[in-house]
Amino acid sequence: PQGDILDYIQKLDQNNYKYTSNFYWDIIFEMICGLLYFHNKGYIHFDIKPTNFLVDNNGYIKLNDFDLCHKIEELSFLDDINEGDSRYISKELFDNNDNISMSNIDNRSDVFSLGLSLFEILFRVNLPENGKLWREVRNDNFSVPQEFWKNIKIEKIDEFLKLIESMVTPVNKRYTLLQIIQEFPE
Residues with catalytic roles: 47
Q: How many CB atoms lie within 10 A of CB 169?
A: 19
* CB atoms closer than 10 angstroms to residue 83: 19
Cβ atoms of 54 and 62 closer than 8 Å:
yes
Residues 154/20, Cβ–Cβ less than 8 Å = yes
Q: What is the C-alpha to C-alpha distance for residues 178 and 186, in angstroms, rounded to an integer?
A: 15
Give the E-state strand segments of the chain in sequence order: 43-44, 53-55, 61-63, 70-71
Residue of 112, 134, 115, 131 whose CA lies nearest to 123: 115
